[in-house]
Structures are given as structure tokens and as C-alpha cells.
């Protein structure tokens, strides 16, 4: 059995009989986990082991574990700083910020790998222009050089822990205010403007071997009529053709409001696949997931299959000994340092805050 092109979610912290039946469907290739699927590192390890035992090659298991606002697993995992904290440190000391970013990325990836998770949907490569609330401090900053340097450090760290990186949201969500989870954003800039700015982090990371990309549910009407994730112009012509990307293309969640432009659930999944997506995410809508997997029962894409197989995590860190690793301890120290800097910044920014005693 090969890996199918659909990534689905689960209802709770254990596999149900319905989950097992769905995950054995030939169109399914992966599982995305959420906070509702998590109780402890030990429970998570049992869940991922059960998922991996269902199929060969084993199903991919992914999660959004960026840090800051977007961290699905918290208690029992290190609380990770938002990407924007590395950007704040970069403004004062770029070398130190990149070193911290690589250590924390390794920490994030090692903790997930120890629990059997293959990859996190990170890093965010969108420029934080102060326009998009859904991006905000999820991004490394507004300056292209800063984002490229920190994202390169991040991908280096996760690779050293045996994990692939997923850059999102191609070609850049930071230039629009609307949140694609609840509305359909339109970015009126032309291709030349995007190539000169927002696309540069993707281009540079691709040059460094970026393993996967997730496109945005954003329409750039001066480039294509469809959202990037439904557009062959964006995915086949520009991402694969012009930028030379050879990795996996994950759709963003087909259950998001901005995906409604693609039609019904089956129609939008088919549109994303035709545009060039290798794996299609459908979350928080089991009836839609069932309809989509049935529609893709006969789907066969040998090239996409090979790309997906490279997303499996490598190495199996021993959970009980992970905290003894010098790199894990270095990552924890970097997290504490960033928390201290954030506290100091808050104190300096608040003129009404009383000075601390010495």
C-alpha cells in the first residue's frame, strides 16, 4: 500500500474503530494532530505508535508546533517562544539570534520525534508587515534578510533532530489583513513586487533544500484568478518551474473559509490536486474527509509518492533520556533567555510599571 494524498484529523486522544477504518483507506497518507489529541508525552507516543502500526509505509504524522500562539502540545513539552522573539533578538545580535533559533528548533523537533511525530508545519516564512493579525509574531520579522537568516537556522536545527521543514504560507500571507481561516484575502500586488520581497525567503530556503511548502489560501489577482493553493500558475509554473522546488506541496486546510472559492469539498480537493498539491489537508469535518477519500480512491501519483516518503522522521530519540542531551539543555536555556528578554522589554515599554527591587 502506498501513501495516499489526503491528510485527516482525529476526534480524540485514542484511535476509535472509525478512525482505524479511515486511516486504512488507500487515499489517506497522513494524520494531523491537534490539542484535543494530546494528554501527555506518553499518551502521544502510544497514539503515534498505533497510527504508524496501521500501514506500511507508515502514515505521516504532523502537527502545528511553531511556538507562541501556535503550539498544540504544551504540558509535558517545552513552551516554545514565538518566532517574533527571535526577530527581536536579531535586531540586537544577529549571530546570537540565529544560534538560539537553531537550538530551539532542534529542541522542538527532538521532543516531537521522541513522541513519534514526523514533522511540524513550520517555519512560517511570511513577512510580518504589521498588517496581518493571523501572522503577527508567528513570523520572524519584516526584513527579508532577517527572515531568511532565522528560517535557515530553524531548518538546520530541525534537520539535525531528524525532521523535515515545511515553509508556509507560499507566496506570502503577510501583505493582507484578512484571516484566511474566516475570509478570502486578496493581495493586489503584482508578481514583480512579490518576487522582490515576499517570495525571497521561499526562494532562499528552496536553494537550501527546503523539504515541503504549504501555499496560502490568498488570491493574488494580478498573477492568477485562484488562491495560490488552487493555482497551477503559482504551484507548477512559479514554485516548481521558476523556483525549482522539488519537495512536497501540502495544501492548507480545505475546511477553511477561504477555500470555499474552490466549490464543494470534493471539488476543492480536486482543484488543489490539479494545481499541484501532493497532500491535501481536511480538518475538523469528518463527513467532508470521508467524501474526499472516496473521491481519491483511485488516485495515483508516483512522483508525489516519492516526495511524501521523504517526510518521514529520522532517528528515534529515547524519551526517557532526551532531557539528558546537551543540545536539549542548550535549547531550554535559550527559551529561558528569550523569556527573560521578553519580560525586560515589557518592563521597559510600560512607563507605569514600578521598578523591580534590587
Question: Are the C-beta atoms of residues 180 and 134 closer than 8 Å to each other?
Answer: yes
- Residue 236: Cβ-neighbour burial (10 angstroms; 0-12, 13-18, 19+): middle
Terminus-to-terminus CA distance in the chain, angstroms? Answer: 65
The residue annotated as part of the active site, out of 198, 252, 253, 278, is 252
The residues that bridge with 28 in the sheet, in sequence order, are 6
At CA 40, angle to CA 38 and CA 45, rounded to 5?
80
Cell numbers for 226, please give them: 485562484
d(CA 271, CA 294): 16
Cell numbers for 341, please give them: 528578554
Cell numbers for 77, please give them: 513539552
Instruction: Decide if 217 is catalytic.
Output: no
The residue annotated as part of the active site, out of 179, 181, 193, 237, is 181
d(CA 84, CA 338): 10
Q: Using alpha carbons, list the distances in angstroms from residue 142 to 75, 87, 147, 334.
A: 31, 9, 7, 22
Cell numbers for 95, please give them: 549571530
Distance of CA 249 to the CA centre of its chain: 11
String of b and e for 160-178 (b: at least 16 CB within 10 Å)? bbbbbbbbbbbbbbbbbeb
Which alpha helices (DSSP H) does the chain contain, by range?
17-23, 41-53, 83-92, 94-114, 144-160, 191-195, 199-207, 232, 265-275, 286-295, 302-309, 319-322, 326-349
For residue 310, is the peptide bond before it cis, meaning its omega torsion is within 30 degrees of 0?
no
Instruction: Decide if 252 is catalytic.
Output: yes
Catalytically active residues are 181, 252
Amino acid at each position: 500500500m502506498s501513501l495516499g494524498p489526503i491528510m485527516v484529523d482525529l476526534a480524540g486522544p485514542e484511535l476509535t474503530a472509525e478512525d482505524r477504518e479511515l486511516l486504512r483507506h488507500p487515499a489517506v497518507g497522513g494524520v494531523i494532530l491537534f490539542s484535543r489529541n494530546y494528554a501527555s508525552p506518553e499518551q502521544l507516543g502510544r497514539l503515534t505508535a498505533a497510527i504508524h502500526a496501521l500501514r506500511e509505509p507508515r502514515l505521516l504524522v504532523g502537527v502545528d508546533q511553531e511556538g507562541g500562539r501556535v503550539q498544540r502540545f504544551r504540558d509535558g513539552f517545552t513552551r516554545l517562544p514565538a518566532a517574533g522573539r527571535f526577530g527581536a533578538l536579531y535586531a540586537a545580535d544577529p549571530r546570537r539570534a540565529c544560534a538560539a533559533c537553531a537550538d530551539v528548533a532542534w529542541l522542538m523537533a527532538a521532543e516531537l520525534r521522541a513522541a513519534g511525530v514526523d514533522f511540524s508545519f513550520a517555519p512560517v516564512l511570511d513577512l510580518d508587515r504589521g498588517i496581518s493579525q493571523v501572522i503577527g509574531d508567528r513570523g520572524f520579522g519584516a526584513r527579508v534578510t532577517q527572515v531568511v537568516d532565522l528560517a535557515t537556522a530553524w531548518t538546520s536545527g530541525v534537520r539535525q533532530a531528524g525532521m523535515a521543514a515545511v515553509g508556509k504560507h507560499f507566496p506570502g500571507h503577510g501583505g493582507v489583513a484578512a484571516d484566511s481561516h474566516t475570509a478570502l484575502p486578496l493581495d493586489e500586488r503584482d508578481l514583480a513586487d512579490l518576487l522582490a520581497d515576499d517570495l525571497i525567503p521561499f526562494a532562499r530556503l528552496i536553494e537550501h533544500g527546503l523539504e515541503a511548502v504549504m501555499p496560502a489560501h490568498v488570491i493574488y489577482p494580478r498573477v492568477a484568478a485562484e488562491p495560490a493553493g488552487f493555482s497551477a500558475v503559482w504551484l507548477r509554473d512559479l514554485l516548481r518551474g521558476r523556483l525549482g522546488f522539488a519537495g512536497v506541496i501540502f495544501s492548507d486546510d480545505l475546511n477553511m473559509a477561504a477555500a470555499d472559492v474552490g466549490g464543494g469539498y470534493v471539488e476543492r480537493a480536486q482543484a488543489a490536486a490539479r494545481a499541484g498539491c501532493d497532500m491535501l489537508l481536511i480538518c475538523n469535518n469528518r463527513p467532508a474527509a470521508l467524501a474526499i477519500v472516496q473521491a481519491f480512491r483511485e488516485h495515483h501519483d508516483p512522483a508525489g509518492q516519492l516526495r511524501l516518503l521523504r517526510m518521514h522522521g529520522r532517528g528515534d530519540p529515547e524519551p526517557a533520556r532526551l532531557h539528558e542531551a546537551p543540545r536539549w539543555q542548550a535549547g531550554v536555556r535559550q527559551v529561558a533567555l528569550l523569556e527573560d528578554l521578553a519580560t525586560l522589554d515589557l518592563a521597559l515599554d510600560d512607563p507605569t510599571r514600578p521598578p523591580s527591587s534590587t
